[in-house]
Structure 1
Amino acid sequence: MDFPEHHPTSTGEFIVTEDVINDYNEWGFILVINLLDKQEIELLRETIETDDGIQGACDGRADGEQRKIRVTVWKNAIDDVTGMIARSEKIAGTFQKLLNDEVYHYHGKLIMKDAKTGGAHIWHQDYGYWYNNGFLFPDLGTVFIPIDDADRENGCLKFIPKSHKAGRIEHLIVGGQAGADTERVAYLQDALGLCHVEMKAGDVLFFHSNLLHRSEQNHSERRRWAYLIAYCAKSNTPPEVDFRTRYSHLDLVPNSAIKECQPAVPTRESRGFFSQADISASLKGLRAIH
């Protein structure tokens, strides 16, 4: 299924027009082609690959299909390339306009689908389990930035377009993941269709927390790594918070800060990695399927 694509200006800025906001509200996502340029994506790739903390904190999550996907999650947008991207006007500033509110950094995440072994992410809504962290409304969203080209062969994202309009769907635990009710997913796919979102490194996807999405196992010879940033609207701060969900003002930086920031050697404490217990808390109360 075809869907709208958007583009930055010749100077690399992204202007959130009324059409952009309308597309986000209608489709549940917007895709911006080449929002990060070659130098910015290379700096991100180098930072991710050389940060021993990110690699060391990864957790393998079973997909219920005999494979695992490697994931690392952290709280803080620190002063390295990952943090500058998360705080930049063209990323965080765009989501502020899409959500029509100040946003804060809920978490950063690296998803690693390695060549031939990378597992699937089953059908789910992010709010399907973020709900269990105390957020009262689905006024959250995710930015998906492929570090490697993502296509059908190595497990690109799939969306059920406009499914965010269905509201939050019941979720169950499948393997080590939260998955949406499969019967409801099938009905929605029949009604709304399916989008395969193939992306080049540097393309950037912004999507709603109630949008149903999935990605398949990676059977290819190529890895598929991606950097994800989750934002929450300030007005949606949970009434009871812990370190994962608390509001912290996000100081936005100009886009030039991505290339200008100095290499950093973050500690585990400065990045604020989520433990397995922190991640499992999001699944609390969900019924497991064996």
Structure 2
Amino acid sequence: MDAIFQFDPKNPGLTQEMKDKYNEYGYFILRNVLDAEEMKKMKHVLENNEEIKKNTYGIADSEGTHTRVCIWSHPGNDVSGMVARSEKIAGYCEELLDGGEVYHYHTKFMMKNAKVGGRFEWHQDYGYWYKNGCLFPQIASVMMAVDRCDKENGCLQVLRGSHKCGRIDHNFVGGQTGADPVRVQEIAKKCPLDYVIMDPGDALYFDCNLLHKSNANPSDKRRWAIVFSYNLKSNDPVYKHHHPNYTPMTKVPNSAIIECTNLGEDMSGKDFLDPSTDKTVKADK
């Protein structure tokens, strides 16, 4: 795997090599996007906030095991919101989507707990978002590791270059929307399988048509991750649905993360998702 880069706080811009890998592979990994102190603040919010706990629900896989998720529509002004609005997250996605204005489509916090965390079936994010009325696959996401993510605890797997296949038909698999397994099987013969192994603060930037999955977590190690997704203003969904239509987003400098003192005390404006409004999953509260 050669699409791995190191974040340099002294030269924090997105490089041409990163853009090239994103276009060729459908992803790249950036190590240490959040440093230890930034990650400590982020984990404090995710582990302790009562609003997040209250709005968490389970999504079953094909074997009936569950991954816990919490989704919100707007970044807010807590530390997690500063991360979502930062130049090294939102700003990079704006560049990857050819520089058009982006807005925060949603943040998804995924809790794959030790021993019980379920799998995610092969899918493309655009398999979901196409059904939401996004006409173009012009949405980019950043998956950030909260815990160590490796093969043992069910890290993400991707099919390198599969974003070039375009959108694949998706249907329900368990409580999830999954890609046509016959088509995935054929694509896997041509697109190499990569395991996305990351430490806390590392991030995967990926295209919405990249095929990806994750196995269940039978280990005794928790595997939490958070995904920030950004849609182009020009790709405003044509249907009203459970994620937001275009909503202007004010980006912040990277320094806003460490300067933020809101460690989850004020979560106003985030608009947590009621899973009963989501037609692309079957949730279990």
| TM-score normalised over the length of structure 2 | 0.95
Aligned runs of 1:1-290 on 2, under 5 Å?
Answer: 2-11=1-10, 13-100=11-98, 101-242=100-241, 244-263=243-262, 264-267=264-267, 270-279=269-278, 281-282=279-280
Q: Percent identity, aligned pairs only?
A: 42
Deviations 1:200-246 (A, max 9, x none): 11111110000000000001111001111111011111234356231
Alignment check: 8 A CA contact 1:143 1:228 kept = yes
> For residues 229 and 241 of structure 1, what CA distance do their matches in structure 2 show?
20
Alignment check: 8 A CA contact 2:146 2:224 kept = yes
> For residues 21 and 277 of structure 2, what CA distance do their matches in structure 1 show?
34
Alignment check: 8 A CA contact 1:110 1:228 kept = yes
SS at the partner of 1:153? helix
Residue 249 of structure 1: how far off its partner (Å): 1.1
Deviations 1:93-142 (A, max 9, x none): 11110001111000011100000110001100000011111000010011
* RMSD over equivalenced CA pairs, Å: 1.4
Residue 154 of structure 1: how far off its partner (Å): 0.4
Alignment check: 8 A CA contact 1:143 1:206 kept = yes
Aligned pair in 2 of structure 1 residues 10, 61: CA closer, same or farther (>3 Å)?
closer
Residue 59 of structure 1: how far off its partner (Å): 1.1
Residue 283 of structure 1: how far off its partner (Å): 5.3
Residue 39 of structure 1: how far off its partner (Å): 0.6
Alignment check: 8 A CA contact 2:126 2:208 kept = yes
Greater CA drift, 239-248 or 131-140? 239-248
Amino acid at match of 2:17: D
- How many residues get paired? 280
SS at the partner of 2:188? helix
> For residues 151 and 66 of structure 2, what CA distance do their matches in structure 1 show?
18
Residue 10 of structure 1: how far off its partner (Å): 4.8
Aligned pair in 2 of structure 1 residues 170, 114: CA closer, same or farther (>3 Å)?
same
Residue 35 of structure 1: how far off its partner (Å): 1.2
Deviations 1:185-211 (A, max 9, x none): 111111112000100111111100000
Residue 255 of structure 1: how far off its partner (Å): 0.5
Alignment check: 8 A CA contact 2:148 2:200 kept = yes
Alignment check: 8 A CA contact 2:242 2:273 kept = no
> For residues 125 and 3 of structure 1, what CA distance do their matches in structure 2 show?
22
Amino acid at match of 2:217: N
> For residues 136 and 14 of structure 1, what CA distance do their matches in structure 2 show?
32
Unmatched segments (≥5 aa) in structure 1? 285-290
Deviations 1:163-203 (A, max 9, x none): 00000001110111011011111111111120001001111
Alignment check: 8 A CA contact 1:133 1:245 kept = no
Residue 17 of structure 1: how far off its partner (Å): 2.1
Structure 2 residue aligned with 1:288: none
| TM-score normalised over the length of structure 1 | 0.93
SS at the partner of 1:94? helix
Unmatched segments (≥5 aa) in structure 2? none
SS at the partner of 1:53? helix
SS at the partner of 2:210? coil
SS at the partner of 2:152? coil
SS at the partner of 1:128? helix
Amino acid at match of 1:36: L
Residue 20 of structure 1: how far off its partner (Å): 1.6
Alignment check: 8 A CA contact 1:48 1:54 kept = yes
Alignment check: 8 A CA contact 2:103 2:231 kept = yes
